[in-house]
Amino acid sequence: MEELKRVYSERIASAARAESDAGQAAEAVRAEVRRREDAKDAALQGRLESGHRRRRKRAVAEMERLLAFAEGGVRRFEPSGRVGLGVLVDVRIEDEAGEDERTLFFLPVGAGVELHGPGGDGFVVVVTPGSPVGRALMGSQVGDCFEIVVEGQDREWRVVDLM
Q: For the chain, how many residues are written?
A: 163
The tens digit of pLDDT for each residue in 61-90 reads 888 888 888 888 767 778 788 999 989 999
**pTM beyond 0.85, yes or no:** no
DSSP string, 105-126: EE-SS-TT-EEEPGGG-SEEEE
CA nearest neighbour of 134 among 85, 62, 74, 65:
85
CA dist list (Å): 34 to 19, 21, 119: 22, 19, 57
What's residue 25's pLDDT? 76
- As to burial, measured by CB atoms within 10 angstroms (0-12 exposed, 13-18 middle, 19+ buried), residue 83 is buried
The tens digit of pLDDT for each residue in 122-133 reads 788 889 999 999
Helices (H), the chain: 2-71, 132-137
The tens digit of pLDDT for each residue in 93-140 reads 998 888 999 999 898 888 888 887 766 667 888 899 999 999 999 999
Alpha-carbon dihedral sign for residues 125, 130, 133, 139? positive
